[in-house]
Structure 1
Amino acid sequence: MLREQAYDVVIIGGGITALSHAWMAHQRGMRVALLQTGGSIDPGHTGSMLQVGHGPEQQALVQESRRLWLDWAGKAGFQVDTRGLWLLCRDMLETRVAEEFMDSTPAGARRADWLDPTDLDAALPHAAGALHFADEIQLDPSIASEAMTRWLSRAIDYFPHRQVLAVESGRVHTPTGVLKADRIFVAAGQHPWMPQSWNTPWQQYRCRLHVLNVQAAAPQPARPTVLSGLSLTHYATFAQCPSVQSLREQQQAVAPQLARHGMHLIMATGPDGSDILIGDAQAASPAEALVDDQTVDDALVDLAQATLGIQLQVRQRWQGSYLRTNQSSLCTEPVRGVHLVSLAGAASSLAPALANAAFAR
């Protein structure tokens, strides 16, 4: 006989978005069921929150997520790196865009400081300077997810790999019974039970991601996460800078393959300086074919070597994909009490704060 179980909230999903909502609901004293669906988080991830990728309208959310990550790390027992982030500038045009970004922000609200070459370590000989985002944090999403799941499994009703057959207002149907709740949250993903009409607002597509684990001939200094000047045209944060279009044209003329693959450089050095995670290249549009391409990995390595001025040996490669949408974040309610949450690749930086807000109401 099928069972009926009653909760305050039921959460469906297998990633940071679902875990964040489960955590915050539990913190509010609610009876929570988490149906963890889908696979584990891919280890191919540089782990940076990349606050720099979010505009001023989302900075309050990003800062709240940062605060929550530090709190969760202490409780669940995983590491958060607080060394910050350097966005390196290597020529006059990149430096000009960085200066315009600094000048456009009132001193009291600045998210970054400018570092001269003498402020950077000697292993970055080609940099003309850098924007320093001191509040940036880095974590391993797969390790954080495992730690949060262990912690939550002792505090809530946790159903790993539980199949969902259907969801309607107030009810989640599974092969073993029905879970009843006034509030149901579904983290965006490929759910076979989901009606097509629920997915329509997202215009979902798969985005290709390339990440590599490389090793330098000699250990690198402990340094913040490093971005290259390509990030100045990759992120909308810098879109209003007057010189950004000139920089984009320069980049497309010098290295058109980087723009074609939606590529920019992220380098995260491990604690002992021996391993460096570098990424990433992404499909630039829904129409771009997801083709495994060795030349993309080679271009990433060449870019990292040119930035660091050293030779790198590839130890491990990840070529995967993740779900993107036409909007940076989206929460819809297709039927009463059922909330669909899509964060379009920004779960680490937005999910904790949005989950906190969802249960503060």
Structure 2
Amino acid sequence: MCLLQCEKVDMCLLQCEKVDMCLLQCEKVDMCLLQCEKVEMCLLHCEKVDMCLLQCEKVDMCLLQCEKVDMCLLHCEKVDMCLLHCEKVEMCLLQCEKVDMCLLQCEKVDMCLLQCEKVEMCLLHCEKVDMCLLQCEKVDMCLLQCEKVDMCLLQCEKVDMCLLRCEKVDMCLLRCEKVDMCLLQCEKVDMCLLQCEKVDMCLLQCEKVDMCLLHCEKVEMCLLHCEKVDMYLLHCEKVEMCLLHCEKVEMCLLHCEKVEMYLLHCEKVDMCLLQCEKVDMYLLQCEKVDMCLLHCEKVEMYLLHCEKVEMCLLHCEKVEMCLLHCEKVEMCLLHCEKVEMCLLHCEKVDMCLLHCEKVEMCLLH
């Protein structure tokens, strides 16, 4: 498409070659573009537009610094995005007052940000680190300059996330009170929270946070604690197991991927439900009565095990049959509702009792 500059149109384009779109600066249009070559989009600085781009080459997007726009970028090469001219960095932003993000020119770093007051993020120039942030009061994230670490964050009071600088540790986490979440990204570990070396468990103490992660290397276990919902998630890699504990209902869910098993523990009733998807089985353990109920949907069977009396009840809906087994007396009771019959078998005395209510008959063998 090629258009000539015109006054009474919403868009003005200049005749150009080998570009996807070329626009000429115009006063009364929403967008202004300059003639450019071999770029996807090129915009000229304009006052009354949301975005301003400068002519650039071989970059995905290039923006010129402008006051009344959300983002300002300078001419740059071989970078995905540049607010300031930079080399060999993924992102570089120039300090600006009325923009959402500000970055300082830097080299050989993944991200560098300059401290700015009215921006959401502030980063300090750093080298050979994955991420470096400068402490700032009115930003969502604050990081401290650090070297040779995966991630370093500075403690800040009024930010959403705070992380502490750490070296040669698998886990790094900062104690923060007024944040929603505190976690440090670590490569060597699956989950990271508080720094701990010689302990089985490491918990991040957060009073007003939604989530807290506990990672334990020795048992490869990770606990996720959420105070607002009083929930705990326990993840164990060796058995691919996850436990979800909720204090409000005093409930714990144990998930085991290898067997597709779920254990639900409820302290109020001392009850545990074990769901196994492969066999459609449910186990309900009740500590107060030492009772366990096993439900298998495929056979519509229920097994009730009571440790105090060492009794097991097997209920099968298809045949409406219930079997009660008691190890202490080696007794088994078979109840069949269809015929209203009950069979009691006792191995110690080799006795079997058959009770039939319809005929009010009892047979002792």
> TM over 0.5, yes or no?
no
With the length of structure 1 as denominator, give the TM-score of the two structures. Answer: 0.17
With the length of structure 2 as denominator, give the TM-score of the two structures. Answer: 0.17
Which structure has the larger Rg over C-alpha atoms? 2
Structure with more contact order per residue of length (Cα contacts < 8 Å, sep ≥ 6): 1
Which has a greater percent of helix? 1
